[in-house]
Amino acid sequence: MLKIYHNSRCRKSREGLEILKNSDKEFEIIEYLKEPLTENELENLINKLEITPIQLVRKNEKIWKEKYKDKDLSDRELISVMVKNPKLIERPIVESDNKAVIGRPPSDIEKLL
C-alpha cells in the first residue's frame, strides 16, 4: 500500500493527494506534522528516496535559516533536526514498499503509480 506524507496546509501536498485519490491505488495518509516520524522511519524514507538528508530539507523555512543554515551538520544530525522540526521535511512524499518520491512537481508521484 502507498503512503503519502502530507501537510494539508501545503498546496503541492494537496495536489499530490488529489493524484492519489484519482488513481485506483489504495493509500494511507500520514500527517507527519501531527504524527512525527522517528529517526529510523525518516532514515528508511531517505534511503527509499535515494537522496541525502540535506536534499530533504526545506531550506527556505524560517527555523532552518535562523538555527541551522550556517552549521556543518552530519547526516545523522540532519535527520535528528528534521525529526524535531518536521516542518523542515520536503513534501509531499509518496512511499511504496520499496521506493519513494518527493511530489515536487506533484506529477512525479505518477512514477510510483
Q: In 25-61, which positions are buried (b, 16+ CB within 10 angstroms) versus exposed (e)? A: eebeebebbeeebeeeebbebbebbeeebeebbeeeb
List 1, 6, 8, 10, catalytic entry? 10
Catalytic, 61? Answer no
Which among 106, 87, 89 is positioned nearest to 14, based on CA atoms? 106
78 touches 69 (CB < 8 A): no
Q: Which single residue is written with the C-alpha cell 495536489?
A: 15
Give the active site residues: 10
